């Protein structure tokens, strides 16, 4: 999982550097974020799409499949250790937690999975 996290951080750093390079002075003139933005990012209805062809496995006794990328979001079920999860994409929450939207292999069950409990740290494709 360390290698996966290091790879994801390297990709994010490169994207951030490129964004800053092209943003230039415009970013300095941008208005500060409203305090309501933090609340909206905690929503249990976060957008997602199928961008990733990879998969991983549940690496915990049980892993809850949730309606949103937060522990406060409704649990739609739980999957046992070793369950194959097809990845779609991931998000990083305001608290720094990484969550992957995925589908349980052999089913139509989909949901958000905490990347800390996926065998390789989850999807590498941002939602």
pTM of the model: 0.69
The structural domains of the chain, with segments of one domain joined by +, span 50-117
DSSP3 helix / strand / coil % (the chain, rounded to 5): 30, 30, 45
Q: Of all helices (H) and strands (E), which one includes residue 89?
A: strand 84-92
Structure tokens at 125: 């494709």
* pLDDT (0 to 100) of residue 96: 93
Question: What would you report as the CA-atom Rg of the chain, rounded to the nearest whole angstrom?
Answer: 16
Question: Is the Cβ–Cβ distance between 68 and 44 less than 8 Å?
Answer: yes
Report the top-level CATH class of 50-117. mainly beta
The owner of tokens 């976060």 is: 46
Query: pLDDT tens digits for 29-63?
Result: 333 333 333 334 468 888 899 999 999 999 999 99
Mean pLDDT across 99-122: 98
């Amino acid at each position: 999982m360390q290698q996966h996290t290091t790879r994801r951080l390297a990709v994010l750093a490169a994207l951030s550097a490129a964004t800053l390079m092209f943003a230039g002075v415009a970013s300095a003139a941008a208005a500060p974020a409203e305090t309501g933005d933090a609340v909206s990012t905690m929503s249990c209805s976060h957008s997602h799409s199928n961008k990733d062809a990879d998969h991983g496995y549940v690496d915990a006794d049980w892993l809850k499949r949730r309606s949103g990328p937060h522990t406060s979001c409704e649990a739609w079920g739980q999957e046992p250790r070793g369950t194959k999860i097809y990845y779609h994409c991931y998000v990083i929450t305001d608290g720094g937690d990484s969550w992957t939207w995925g589908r349980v292999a052999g089913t139509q069950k989909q949901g958000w999975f905490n990347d800390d409990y996926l065998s390789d740290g989850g999807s590498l494709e941002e939602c």
